[in-house]
Structure 1
Amino acid sequence: MTPYLANLINGAVCVVMGLWGYTTTHATTALIAPILGLVFLACTKGFRTNNKIIVHVVVVLTLLLLIALIKPLTGALNDNDTSGLIRIGVMLLTNAVALVVFIKSFIDVRRNRNTTGQ
């Protein structure tokens, strides 16, 4: 999977699952994930053009969202909220996969740079 595709999928999942969560709970904080999802989607072109600043900003925001989703996960676990667990679990999964893809991409770029002598 490419970083571009990982970001695209993660952004779309965050928008859909976050809006589903907002319509269920009407909690304003439930809008954090869809807003960041829209930011991810807006930054997708930066992955295609290899804009390092955009890519690094998205990586940091993805990590922050991954950390921020832990609290709602514990709340859904305590409340035995199955739909909440599914929503948050899917967002956690896509964020984690996106982070792994991003980090692997950074490692591959560094490795290629070192082997070509640049």
Structure 2
Amino acid sequence: MKPFQINIVNALVLIGMGLWAYLSAEDKSSTALIPVGFGLLFLLATPLFRKDNKVVAHIVVLLTFLLLFALAMPLKGRITAGDQIGIFRVATMMVVSLIALIIYIKSFIDARKARNNN
């Protein structure tokens, strides 16, 4: 999978899971919309990412990395509350973001190798 493709998948997962969390909560917390914001940023960055804009690619990687750490607290909270659906939502966002991060880093390594071979 190409980096821009996993970026779209990650964005859609973040938006979908974030909206699900927000809309299904009894007491609506705006923090549930943080993944939605990240997802929208990732979607907006996709056209530039697709054109191999290195600055945008590095920003997306950094934001994805930060998001992984930011999702740790909600995961801990859902585990403490025993909220199985909440655990599923947060864990799904984390796993997809981790896969995206791995694909991004692999593409950076491949690009460097290709550049060094020329």
TM-score class, shorter: over 0.9
TM-score by length of 2: 0.96
Cα distance between partner residues in 2 of 1:105 and 1:47: 12
Paired AA for residue 99 in structure 2: V
Q: How many aligned residue pairs are there?
A: 116
Q: Secondary structure at the match of 1:50?
A: coil
Consecutive unaligned residues of structure 1, counting only runs of 5 or more, are none
Matched AA of 2:8: L
Q: 1:49 pairs with 33, 48, 51, which one?
A: 51
Q: Which residue of 1 aligns with 2:3?
A: 3
Q: Which residue of 2 aligns with 1:71?
A: 73
Q: Deviations 1:35-93 (Å, cap 9, x if unpaired)?
A: 11000011011121111111111111111111100000011111110110110011001
Aligned to 1:83: 85
Q: Identity of counterpart residues, as a percentage?
A: 44
Cα distance in 1 for partners of 2:12, 2:38 equals: 10
Q: Where does residue 24 of structure 2 map in the other structure?
A: 24
Superposed displacement of residue 7, structure 1: 0.2
RMSD of aligned alpha carbons? 0.7
Q: CA deviation at 1:24?
A: 2.2
Aligned amino acid, residue 13 of structure 1: V
